[in-house]
């Protein structure tokens, strides 16, 4: 049920532009995540990385370019996005279809050693708080000592007034970069649904969504509404105590938790 390289390239390139509409300074955030992983894995001959909520491989492909000796496992529940990634970024990662946060979801990863780093970007906001805590605990158990969980996402502040200000700063940045002119999430999906080469994958996607809903997906927004402080508290409950935001623009952050 594969797609052609030309079709995968078309929709992945449109995906990249579409996602820029939602992530403030998206490319810089990717770069910062790669910087952190590079530092955490320095001196390791074949670091093992896990990209959760990978979509069509946007972050995995950038990590593979920065760290060509790394072994990357990329995980998502969306069969269409996974197939686009497998085709367009075939050499970047080993793509795994599993529902993040579900019972036994990490068994599908077939890991043979501890993880050096877990990365995610604009994906974990889909998870309800109890599921997110369970996920953080499972990931903490899979990380080696000194390994890191690196999450790039939009986090509101505890103060509603401050959240308004950080969101405003991000919006003004997007206006200057004109990313609001890019097609939106709904337009991308509606257009892709008209491509006959993707029809079987859309059918699969519909069945998966009927069974599991949106949890484990990839996209914009902040579905669970958890603040930066709340994410930090959940990470501590999961056993990760060395936590810091290493980058911020508006309400877009890169939050890092290192296992002792």
Tokens describing residue 14: 């449109």
Can you tell me whether residue 50 is helix, strand or coil? strand
What letter would DSSP give residue 194?
T
120-134 burial: b if 16+ Cβ within 10 Å, else e: bbbbbbbbeeebbbb
What letter would DSSP give residue 109?
G
Q: What average pLDDT does the segment 232-255 reach?
A: 96
The full set of domain ranges for the chain reads 5-242+249-258
For residue 258, the surrounding DSSP H or E stretch is strand 252-258
For residue 149, the surrounding DSSP H or E stretch is strand 143-154
Dump pLDDT digits (tens) for 48-72: 999 999 999 999 999 999 999 999 9
The CA-based dihedral angle spanning residues 108, 109, 113, 114, taken in that order and rounded to the nearest 10 degrees: -110
Distance of alpha carbon 257 from alpha carbon 255, whole angstroms: 7
Q: Contact 34/62 with Cβ under 8 angstroms?
A: yes
For residue 243, the surrounding DSSP H or E stretch is strand 242-249
Residue 104, phi-psi category: left (phi > 0), alpha (psi -120 to 50), beta (remainder) = left
pTM: 0.94
Distance of alpha carbon 46 from alpha carbon 187, whole angstroms: 40
Largest CA distance in the chain: 50
Dump pLDDT digits (tens) for 108-150: 999 999 999 999 999 999 999 999 999 999 999 999 999 999 9
pLDDT band at 1 (very low <50, low <70, confident <90, very high): low
Residues, the chain: 260
- pLDDT for 232 beyond 70: yes
Determine the topology of domain 5-242+249-258 in CATH: Rossmann fold (3.40.50)
CB atoms within 10 A of CB 198: 20
């Amino acid at each position: 049920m594969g797609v052609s390289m030309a079709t995968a390239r078309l929709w992945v390139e449109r995906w990249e532009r579409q996602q820029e509409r939602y992530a403030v300074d998206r490319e810089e955030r990717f770069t910062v995540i790669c910087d952190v992983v590079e530092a955490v894995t320095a001196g390791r001959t074949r670091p093992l990385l896990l990209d959760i909520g990978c979509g069509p491989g946007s972050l995995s492909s950038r990590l593979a370019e920065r760290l060509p000796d790394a072994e990357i496992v990329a995980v998502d529940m969306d069969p269409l996005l996974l197939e686009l990634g497998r085709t367009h970024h075939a050499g970047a990662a080993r793509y795994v279809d599993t529902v993040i946060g579900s019972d036994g979801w990490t068994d599908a990863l077939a890991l043979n050693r501890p993880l050096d780093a877990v990365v995610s970007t604009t994906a974990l906001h889909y998870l309800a708080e109890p599921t997110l805590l369970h996920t953080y605990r499972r990931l903490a158990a899979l990380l080696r000592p000194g390994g890191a969980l690196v999450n790039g996402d939009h986090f509101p502040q505890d103060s509603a007034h401050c959240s308004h200000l950080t969101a405003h700063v991000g919006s003004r940045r997007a206006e200057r970069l004109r990313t609001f002119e890019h097609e939106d999430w709904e337009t991308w999906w509606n257009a892709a649904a008209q491509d006959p080469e993707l029809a079987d994958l859309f059918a699969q996607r519909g069945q998966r969504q009927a069974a599991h809903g949106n949890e484990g997906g990839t996209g914009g927004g902040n579905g669970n509404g958890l603040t930066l402080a709340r994410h930090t508290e959940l990470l501590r409950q999961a056993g990760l105590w060395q936590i810091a935001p290493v980058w911020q623009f508006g309400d877009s952050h890169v939050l890092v938790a290192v296992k002792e």
